[in-house]
């Protein structure tokens, strides 16, 4: 895992990542997703899939992949690393270092492997050492519990100051976007609350802070 050089170039302006709601009807959701992606610059979509049989899950991925990939947006599957290649997705978002490590062989080097659910600094460093394409801070756990926002900002700042691997910061509301950018996030992850055109445009606008120092 590389540390940031002392005289590093300024980081590029951050971009958005978008989590979908749990999707069971891809036909209906494809139009909603396409409208959101047309409204603002989004780097990646993390697709949450409702529980179903394997074939149905693969078909959902295939139904939604064009809405992303035709717009040069990466489609990541929340979990289900075994379905990424068969569904034609670009990678997976894995929760927890152990889950991430177990999925690497299926994903690397051709596809993206990102890691969230990082409770400690050590977990984040371990994920980066194992080859995570990004680490994520601030997202709620399976019970909807999230770290205090000040702690999320502190973790993002620490990472941005020390490490080169990209950092994704999860914003629970529109008001959190600008503070996370100021903390040093490379990407800001939005949840389904941002799916309306107006909201996602506002989030994209909040990314545009003055050029940040390295």
The answer to whether the pTM exceeds 0.85 is yes
What is the tens place of the pLDDT at every residue in 11-21? 678 999 999 99
Q: In this predicted structure, what is the pLDDT of residue 99?
A: 96
Report all structural domains of the chain as residue ranges with CATH numbers, in order of start: 15-206 (3.20.20.70)
Q: In this predicted structure, what is the pLDDT of residue 212?
A: 47
Q: In this predicted structure, what is the pLDDT of residue 208?
A: 84
Written as one string, the DSSP assignment of 8-61 is PPPPPPPEEEEEEEEES-HHHHHHHHHHHHHHS-EEEEEEEE-S--HHHHHHHH
What is the tens place of the pLDDT at every residue in 167-206? 999 999 999 999 999 999 999 999 999 999 999 999 999 9
Residues in the chain with pLDDT < 70?
1-11, 209-214
- CA gap 151, 71 in Å, rounded: 34
Q: Where are the alpha helices (DSSP H) in 70-165?
A: 84-87, 97-107, 121-129, 149-162
**Pairing, β 42-49 against β 15-23:** parallel
Residue from 160, 116, 155 nearest 135 by CA: 116
139 CA to centre of own chain: 10
- CA gap 202, 139 in Å, rounded: 20
């Amino acid at each position: 895992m590389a540390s940031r050089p002392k005289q590093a170039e300024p980081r590029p302006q951050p971009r958005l990542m978008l989590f979908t709601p749990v999707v069971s009807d891809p036909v209906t959701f494809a139009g909603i997703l396409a409208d959101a992606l047309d409204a603002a610059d989004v780097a990646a979509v993390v697709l949450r899939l409702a529980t179903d049989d394997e074939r149905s899950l693969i078909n959902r991925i295939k139904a939604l992949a064009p809405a992303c990939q035709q717009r040069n947006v990466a489609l990541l599957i929340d979990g289900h690393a075994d379905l990424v290649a068969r569904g034609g997705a670009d990678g997976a978002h894995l929760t927890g270092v152990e889950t991430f490590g177990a999925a690497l062989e299926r994903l690397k080097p051709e596809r993206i492997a990102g890691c969230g659910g990082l409770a400690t600094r050590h977990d984040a460093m371990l994920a980066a050492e194992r080859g995570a394409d990004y680490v994520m801070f601030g997202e709620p756990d399976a019970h909807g519990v999230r770290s205090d926002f000040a702690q999320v900002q502190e973790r993002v700042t620490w990472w941005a100051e020390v490490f080169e691997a990209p950092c994704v910061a999860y914003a629970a509301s529109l008001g959190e976007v600008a503070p996370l950018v100021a903390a040093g996030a490379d990407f800001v992850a939005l949840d389904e609350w941002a799916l309306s055109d107006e909201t996602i445009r506002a989030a994209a606008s909040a990314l545009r802070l003055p050029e940040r120092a390295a």
